[in-house]
């Protein structure tokens, strides 16, 4: 367990991919988690499925969370955005996660904030092209995986 410059031990960080691998680009979060297996050590990688309530529980038990998800925050299709959930309450109601089923991502983040859980939550989201039934990512979304992985690794080491 190594201490990084911001003093959050790796064991207190989590990387969560949300989504459904059978819903085309909605599976991007899980695909990235799968590819991170050999690239990240000491940080728990979580297949978060589609439960936003569990994000609240993860937030309660960690100091930093990096989320990878299919997110529409008004950016172009295939464009990746990164934001810190603590500082972007203006996003509430504007961001749309395609993956989370019990609450949506905005609601989960708002609840975490209301519960005064002070975990750093960084969201790395890509706007999907297709979220219909399907086992494959759209080629233009799949092509962005290396870029997303680099962003996650940088964030994980931050």
Partner 1 sequence: MANTFSIEEENVSRVEGHGDLVLDVKNKKIEKLQFRIPESPRFFEAMLVGRKWDTPSHITSRICGICSVAHTYASIKATEAAMGINNINDQILKLRKLIFHHECVQSNVLHVYFLAAPDFFGVGSAISLVDSHPEVVNIALRVKKMANDMVRIIGGRAVHPIRTVVGGFTKLPTIQEMHQMKEMLQAAYPDLENSLEVLKTLDIPDFERETEYISISDPVDYALYDGNIKSTDGWEIDDQDYLDKINEKVVKHSTGKHSWASRDAYLVGALARFNNNYDQLSDNAKQYAEELGLKPLNYNPFMNNIAQFVEIVHSVDDSIKLIDELLEEGLDEDKAIVDVKPKAGRGVGVVEAPRGLLIHDYTYDDEGKVEKANLIIPTNQNYANIEKDLEEMVPQIIDKSEDEIKLACEMLIRAYDPCISCSTHFLNVKLVNK
- Chain contacts with partner 1 (rule: CB under 8 A): 20-23, 26, 47-51, 53-54, 56-57, 60, 98-99, 101-104, 107, 110-111, 114-115, 131, 133, 135
Nearer Cβ to partner 1 (47/150): 47
Closest contact distance (angstroms) between CB of 112 and partner 1 is 10
Nearer Cβ to partner 1 (83/103): 103
Nearest to 62 by CA among 24, 106, 23, 118: 118
Q: How many residues does the chain have?
A: 158
Nearer Cβ to partner 1 (91/98): 98
| Residue 77 in tokens | 């299709």
Nearer Cβ to partner 1 (136/154): 136
Nearest to 8 by CA among 118, 125, 88, 89: 118
Closest contact distance (angstroms) between CB of 5 and partner 1 is 31
Measured distance CA(80)–CA(118) in Å, rounded: 25
Closest contact distance (angstroms) between CB of 154 and partner 1 is 27
Closest contact distance (angstroms) between CB of 75 and partner 1 is 18
31-51: b (≥16 Cβ within 10 Å) or e:
bbbeebeeebeebebbebbbb
């Amino acid at each position: 367990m190594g201490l990084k410059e911001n003093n959050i031990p790796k064991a207190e960080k989590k990387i969560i991919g949300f989504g459904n691998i059978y819903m085309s680009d909605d599976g991007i979060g899980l695909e990235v988690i799968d590819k991170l297996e050999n690239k990240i050590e000491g940080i728990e990688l979580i297949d978060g499925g589609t439960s936003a309530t569990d994000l609240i529980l993860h937030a309660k038990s960690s100091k930093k969370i990096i989320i990878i998800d299919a997110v529409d925050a008004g950016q172009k299709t295939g464009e990746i955005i990164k934001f810190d959930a603590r500082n972007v309450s203006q996003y509430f109601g504007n961001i749309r996660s395609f993956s989370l089923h019990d609450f949506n991502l905005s609601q989960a983040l708002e609840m975490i904030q209301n519960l005064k859980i002070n975990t750093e939550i960084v969201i790395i989201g890509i706007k999907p092209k297709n979220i219909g039934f399907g086992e494959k990512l759209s080629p233009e979304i799949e092509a962005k995986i290396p870029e997303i992985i680099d962003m996650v690794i940088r964030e994980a080491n931050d």
